[in-house]
């Protein structure tokens, strides 16, 4: 079993560079299946989710070459075949293969997706969109089969009952080669959706309105190759900004797009965090006398659900009482019990997190229950006095590229030990 060992209480300083966006690349890689030529992706993060996607693509017949942060994908040999259950079951974003395979072949057989356990995350919206475009669904054990019975998907008007990033992207993927026009209303607006639409448009797709709540796709017959730069990971950026405010003595975070983090940075400013924002970087000063705040997550451009857990350790340093309400994943509270093991004054009251600070954390054995909870425990371990041992670190490695090396360069006493 792999573990992360942290000897905390050491101030950190220096620079760190943010990698490409996990939540983009897990859709961009399946999107290349739609291409009729070679596609190159730059800025691909070195995370286990990407490794799983590459394995799946190769098993399907694609040729994939990796050189550092660059992926060269030749999808022309991809065959419509059932997806390998083991890889799919560990990867929530595997559902993007539904849209890509439907768009290319008119059918897809994929195991039910896995990923972090954050409570119900139904794919009903995805299926509703596919069915509206002419696909039929059947279940075979743990696999789902979607088929158009040899016909081309057809464009139509689709209204999303709730705002969903995954369903919005999947519908775009299916619609790009559909016959006619597809209009998605109440679409999600996240930057990762714009990133996927940019890739597809550079391949010859006709997508308008990405980043707004109405997206229009005119179907095309052919998508050529292109080269695409993945956007910076706004969740990784927010994680390191929170870390810098919690334990830093002057840390610069590079490759940051401020406009993707406005609501997060506004909440830090409300706390009294001192930082200097430049065109593509944020410098975070050493902090003192922070103020407790109340946080409520909401769809973009609101406060991101993925950032409430990494921010929690910083909140524990603030003066006063505060709360966190996650309207996206109400059950995203598993980090609370682990922080309590470290001495935090924090509890969950009816899915609402309530905390009081300031706190001095103490190192303890803790367990990462999901990706962003794991990031919270890393920050807490760096803040704490003594040794913190984190297990279930596979969750952390799913989404944070070279996290151990990046923290060591800032001066952290942190190491990864053991075997998978």
Determine if residue 92 is labeled as part of a ligand binding site: yes
Please indicate whether residue 116 is annotated as part of the active site. Answer: yes
Tens of pLDDT, residue by residue over 196-228, are: 999 999 999 999 999 999 999 999 999 999 999
Residues in Cβ contact with 103 at an 8 Å cutoff, skipping those fewer than 6 apart: 33, 34, 153, 173, 174, 175, 176, 177, 178
The CA distance from 397 to 213, in Å, is: 32
CATH number of 22-229: 3.65.10.10
Tens of pLDDT, residue by residue over 284-313, are: 999 999 999 999 999 999 999 999 999 999
Tens of pLDDT, residue by residue over 379-389, are: 999 999 999 99
Determine if residue 123 is labeled as part of a ligand binding site: yes
User: Domain segments of the chain: what residues?
Assistant: 3-19+232-417, 22-229
Question: What is the architecture, at CATH level 2, of domain 3-19+232-417?
Answer: Alpha-beta prism (3.65)
The reported pLDDT for the residue numbered 92 is 58
Structure tokens at 201: 């448009």
The reported pLDDT for the residue numbered 118 is 40
Determine if residue 22 is labeled as part of a ligand binding site: yes
Identify the burial level of 362 via C-beta atoms within 10 angstroms of its C-beta, where 0-12 means exposed, 13-18 middle and 19 or more buried.
Answer: middle
Determine if residue 89 is labeled as part of a ligand binding site: no
The yes-or-no verdict on residue 116 having pLDDT over 50 is no
Tell me the pLDDT band of 115, cut-offs 50, 70 and 90: very low
Q: Which percentage of the chain shows pLDDT scores above 70?
A: 93
Q: Give the mean pLDDT of the chain.
A: 93
Contact 5, 420 (CB under 8 A): no
Determine if residue 23 is labeled as part of a ligand binding site: yes
Determine if residue 227 is labeled as part of a ligand binding site: no
**Cα–Cα distance list, 103 to 78, 97, 108, 219, 226 (Å):** 13, 10, 9, 10, 19
**Cα–Cα distance list, 308 to 91, 143, 227, 297, 360 (Å):** 22, 33, 33, 7, 20
The catalytically annotated residue of 4, 116, 129, 153 is 116
């Amino acid at each position: 079993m792999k573990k992360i060992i942290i000897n905390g209480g050491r101030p950190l300083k220096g620079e760190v560079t943010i990698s490409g966006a996990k939540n983009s690349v897990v859709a961009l890689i399946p999107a290349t299946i739609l291409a009729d030529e070679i596609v190159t992706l730059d800025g691909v993060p070195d995370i286990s989710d990407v490794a799983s996607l590459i394995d799946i693509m190769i098993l399907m017949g694609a040729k994939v070459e990796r050189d550092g942060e660059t992926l060269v994908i030749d999808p022309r040999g991809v065959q419509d075949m059932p997806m390998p259950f083991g890889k799919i079951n560990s990867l929530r974003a595997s559902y993007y293969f539904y849209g890509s395979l439907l768009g290319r072949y008119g059918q897809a057989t994929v195991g039910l997706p896995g990923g972090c356990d954050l409570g119900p995350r139904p794919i009903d919206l995805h299926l509703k969109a596919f069915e509206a475009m002419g696909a039929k669904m059947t279940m075979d054990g743990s696999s789902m089969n979607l088929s158009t019975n040899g016909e081309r998907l057809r464009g139509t008007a689709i209204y999303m009952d709730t705002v969903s990033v995954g369903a919005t992207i999947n519908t775009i993927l299916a619609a790009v080669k559909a016959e006619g026009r597809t209009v998605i209303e109440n679409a999600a607006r996240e930057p990762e959706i714009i990133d996927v639409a940019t890739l597809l448009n550079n391949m010859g797709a006709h997508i308008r309105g990405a980043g707004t709540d109405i997206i229009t796709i005119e179907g095309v017959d052919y998508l050529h190759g292109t080269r695409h730069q993945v956007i910076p990971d706004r969740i990784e950026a927010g994680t390191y900004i929170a870390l810098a405010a919690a334990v830093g003595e002057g840390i610069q975070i590079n490759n940051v797009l401020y406009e993707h983090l406005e609501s997060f940075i506004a909440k830090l400013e409300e706390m009294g965090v001192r930082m200097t924002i430049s065109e593509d970087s944020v410098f975070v000063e050493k902090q003192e006398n922070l103020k407790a705040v109340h946080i409520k997550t909401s769809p973009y451009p609101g406060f991101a659900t993925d950032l409430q857990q990494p921010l929690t350790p910083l909140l524990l340093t603030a003066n006063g009482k505060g709360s966190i309400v996650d309207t996206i994943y109400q059950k995203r509270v598993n980090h609370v019990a682990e922080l309590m093991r470290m001495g935090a004054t924090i509890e969950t009251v009816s899915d609402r997190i309530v905390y009081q600070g300031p706190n001095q954390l103490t190192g303890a054995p803790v367990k990462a229950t999901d990706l962003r909870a794991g990031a919270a425990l890393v920050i807490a371990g760096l803040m704490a006095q003594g040794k913190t041992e984190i297990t279930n670190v596979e969750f952390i490695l799913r989404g944070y590229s070279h996290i151990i090396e990046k923290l060591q360069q800032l001066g952290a006493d942190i190491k990864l030990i053991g075997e998978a």
